[in-house]
Structure 1
Amino acid sequence: MGNSYFAMLEQTWQQPSKTYKHLIVSVLLRAFLTLSKNDFIPQKTADSNKLCLLMEMCDDYPIVYDIIWAFSFNKDIQKQLRSNAPFMSKLIQLAKQSENEQIRKAIDGILWNLDINHENRPITDKQNTK
């Protein structure tokens, strides 16, 4: 299931019309967000190294941040995210600067799952939360 869905997404992403058999990419992404909550899909994504496609789509389709957030509970996905320094920098910057509340919420969730928010918090805040 995961590989065939990624094949559809890749084909759609490469088409100038951003459609796959009359389905626009945003419809495919909404369906994929629902599927992403199943543990099988994030693991299949990690195993096939397809996370980079989603990272590439974020700027054009903010719903992808929600998909990555759902995936970011998976340890293998976490490793792949942490190893992509440019994407991590982008997430940290957007967490501070994005005016879109849904994007900020998803990014905060991703960073939380990666323990990034915990590390960037001042020491006094860490002590006050215990």
Structure 2
Amino acid sequence: MRMDYDVPKPEIKVVHSKQANCPNVINQVLHGIEEEGLPYSVEESDENNPVELAFRGAELSHLGVGIGISNETVVLHFIKLKEDQPLFIIPTYSNEATLRAIGSNAARLVKRMPFKNLDNTELS
């Protein structure tokens, strides 16, 4: 007898607005997560508030870490924080290194490593 259980995967959830037309931003954030070696999944939402998207991602993530992306903003959230108080907020027009750094920081939050500064240097 084979039993299939729908076990949640330990992954960072990246949730972007359906209205977000910024594939390069999404890709750079995902590259940052990949560089740290953690799994992720991407979802699309009707919501357009990046803080709500990020918190929703944190709720859906078995790791408690979510990233929300709208046309203007990228937000990193952690489930143990208040919904209206995300960890990092950056504009989508940030350079590629900064976009990758916020993805890296999502993974580093899980791995309990020091964050990268959003100018891509280590924070102590």
Question: Which one has the bigger strand percentage?
Answer: 2
Query: Taking structure 1 as the reference length, what is the TM-score of the superposition?
Result: 0.26
Q: Give the number of the structure whose alpha-carbon radius of gyration is greater.
A: 1
Question: Which one has the bigger helix percentage?
Answer: 1
